């Protein structure tokens, strides 16, 4: 059985993603801000409610 010549690859990394350094970038970045999912949902609902109320109020202001 013949051995393949060439460079050894790291496990889990291959192709274009490693060539442009994306895998290394995401391994080095630490999370700085942690936002719970409930806060994101609450903010989305709050903004939607605010927009609906504002739209309703502006219809009668004309």
Q: What is the domain count for the chain?
A: 1
Maximum Cα interatomic distance, the chain, rounded to a whole number of Å: 84
Q: What residue numbers bound the domain in which 61 lies?
A: 35-62
Instruction: Look at residue 53 and tell me if it is in a domain.
Output: yes
Let me know if residue 12 belongs to a domain.
Answer: no
Burial of 37 (0-12, 13-18, 19+ CB in 10 A): exposed
pLDDT tens digits, 1-27? 555 565 555 555 566 656 666 666 555
19 assigned to some structural domain? no
- Residue 25: inside a domain: no
Q: What is the mean pLDDT of residues 36-60?
A: 96
Whether 18 is covered by a domain: the verdict is no
Using CA atoms, how far apart are residues 27 and 42, in angstroms rounded to an integer?
A: 30
Q: Is 23 exposed, middle or buried (0-12, 13-18, 19+ CB in 10 A)?
A: middle
Reported as a single tens digit per residue, the pLDDT across 25-34 is: 555 566 678 8
Helix (H) or strand (E) holding 49: helix 37-61
Question: Does residue 26 form part of some domain?
Answer: no
């Amino acid at each position: 059985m013949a051995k393949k010549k060439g460079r050894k690859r790291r496990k889990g990394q291959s192709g274009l993603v490693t060539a442009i350094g994306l895998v290394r970038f995401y391994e080095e970045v630490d999370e700085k801000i942690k936002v719970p999912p409930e806060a994101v949902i609450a903010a989305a609902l709050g903004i939607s409610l605010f927009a609906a109320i504002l739209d309703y109020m502006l219809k009668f202001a004309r």
